[in-house]
Chains A and B, each alone.
Chain A
Amino acid sequence: MTPVELTVNGREVHLQLDPRTSLLDALREHLKLTGTKKGCDHGQCGACTVIVEGRRINSCLTLAVMHDGEQVTTIEGLGTPEALHPMQKAFVVHDGYQCGYCTPGQICSAVSVLEEIKAGVPSHVTENLDRVAFSEDEVRERMSGNICRCAAYSNIIAAISDVAGESKA
């Protein structure tokens, strides 16, 4: 067992983990934060997306021990049912889900996507590498690591665009 200290959603936690424990399993099985979902467990679906040190990653393809001392934000930390994060609210308003299984990952990813665009990180559809700006095509490309079995894609794009509009205003 290896000691691991994390700050999850602002709360410091101390765990003793088998080094094999993925960050995803640490969150779900040890901390009982079951908002983050396990889909494929192989980096292919995005259901496990969380934000670590300000960046979205697949929590299934990383070991908890590798994140000792780091800050993790999960869907539970973005907002609460009483005080939803704007992205959570937009997903509700725009019906950005059906079964909801992929939704925590979609929302964590979406929050980061808008930050990545703001930070000027280019994507595959960015025409001019020096001019990174919001567009629906940009969102589609940047969200391609989040698969939705219910195919709520168009409403997901609407939700993200809504939040992007709000943040511009």
Chain B
Amino acid sequence: MKPFTYERANSVEAAAKAAASVQGARFIAGGTNLLDLMKLQIETPTHLIDVNRLGLDRIEKTEEGGLRIGALVRNTDLAADTTVRRDYGVLSRALVAGASGQLRNKATTAGNLLQRTRCPYFYDIRMPCNKRKPGSGCGALKGMSRSLAILGVSDACIAQHPSDMAVAMRLLDAQVETMGADGTKRAIPIADFHLLPGETPHKETVLNAGEIITSVTLPKPVAGTHVYRKVRDRASYAFALVSVAAIFGKDGTARFAFGGIGAKPWRTAEADAAASEGAKAVAQAALAGARTTEHNDFKRPLVERTLASLYRQQEARA
């Protein structure tokens, strides 16, 4: 690991200011992604700003009837929160489908949203990777791409967004609340938060230098059956090949978001609109524009089958 200096921030404002003024500074929350990448020298911050004790670990109701989730709320606590379990079941389900008990005890709301791809070439510093080293090429395009994305990809990068939690957040139309280095606050709809790779896969979100995530808000609960189905190589403790977050309403309507297949958590209005026509139609709509490789083409039928399985389960419930 490269040497770095360390400070514990005293306030959100101070953290944002410090992050913008020190070249190479980064926030550290749970550390479960950042430290992993620092050990491999994929991330090489010169200064770490610890944001763990800033009081950003609360979950509270919003005036609009939704929920405000502090950026530092641990994944375990968010999944176990009684309001989340009752009103936002899909979020609990997505959280507990990710990582391990130990990791979820550390992993935070903000850190989870910002976790980086699990592309094997991104992780191997001897390999070309436009995301890790802009302009070096993409090792995955003609390489092992089994786990990688088929939607939102570009010629420069086909990395998948690995988060389970973010898929549920996308389904629920969450907003990411931040504070900039100059103290300005903004709320970013999660649909706009993550960037598609295009020509610049190293730019992953719309966050500016020093901008700190303070919380994530959820709108009023969406009624219906909340489900999260994750398909992976092992029954537990593995990243998604395909995952589907869904809420099935009583009237035959439904909404869907997808993990494992997109350069970012994936959701389309067309897929939701096809809900009453069943799994095949939803899959077709969701996969519009999909671009696969020889190794990850299996994800197309897998999306449809995962949806079909959810529909069947839903019919059995009705």
Give A residues with C-beta under 8 Å from B: 2, 18-20, 22, 41-43, 46, 49, 55-58, 61-63, 65-66, 68, 109, 112-113, 116, 119-124, 126, 129-130, 140-146
Contact = CB atoms under 8 A, between A and B. Distances in A.
B102 A124 contact: no
A112 B101 contact: yes
Contacts of B89: 129
Contacts of B235: 141, 144
A119 B39 contact: no
Interface of B: 1, 3-6, 8, 28, 30-32, 35-36, 39, 48, 50, 52, 76, 79-80, 85-86, 89, 92-93, 96-97, 99-103, 105-106, 234-237
Given A2-B6, A122-B80, A66 B31 contact: yes
Given A22-B35, A120-B80, A122-B80, A145 B237 contact: yes
Q: Which 9 A-B pairs have the closest CB atoms?
A: A145-B100, A144-B236, A19-B6, A144-B237, A129-B85, A121-B80, A55-B105, A124-B96, A58-B102
8 contacts: A19-B5, A43-B36, A62-B106, A109-B102, A121-B76, A141-B235, A144-B234, A144-B235
Contacts of A68: 8
B92 A43 contact: no
A63 B31 contact: yes
A43 to B, nearest CB: 6
A43 B206 CA distance: 28
Contacts of A49: 102
A147 B296 CA distance: 28
B4 A19 contact: yes
B85 A43 contact: no
Contacts of B237: 144-145
A73 to B, nearest CB: 14
A63 B8 CA distance: 12
A20 B3 CA distance: 7
Contacts of A61: 30-32, 35-36, 103, 106
Overall SS of chain B's interface: mixed
A79 B235 CA distance: 33
Contacts of A58: 32, 102-103, 106
B227 to A, nearest CB: 12
A66 B50 contact: yes
A65 B236 contact: no
A101 B234 CA distance: 23
Contact of A46 (B93, B97, B102, B106): B102
Given A61-B36, A145-B102, A122 B6 contact: no
Contacts of A62: 30-32, 35, 106
Given A20-B1, A65-B6, A121-B76, A57 B102 contact: yes
Given A19-B4, A140-B236, 13 more contacts: A19-B48, A20-B1, A22-B35, A41-B39, A56-B101, A56-B102, A58-B102, A58-B103, A65-B6, A124-B93, A129-B92, A141-B235, A144-B236
Nearest to B36: A42
Contacts of A57: 102, 105-106
Nearest to B76: A121
Residue of A46, A57, A62 with most chain B CB atoms under a 10 A cut-off: A57
A130 B79 contact: no
A144 B100 contact: yes
Given A65-B6, A129-B89, A129-B92, A43 B32 contact: yes
Given A58-B103, A61-B106, A122-B80, A130 B35 contact: no
A72 B236 CA distance: 27
Contacts of B103: 43, 58, 61, 145
Nearest to A54: B105
Contact of B236 (A43, A56, A63, A141): A141
A122 B100 contact: no
A85 to B, nearest CB: 18
A141 B236 CA distance: 7
A158 to B, nearest CB: 19
A15 to B, nearest CB: 14
A46 B105 CA distance: 13
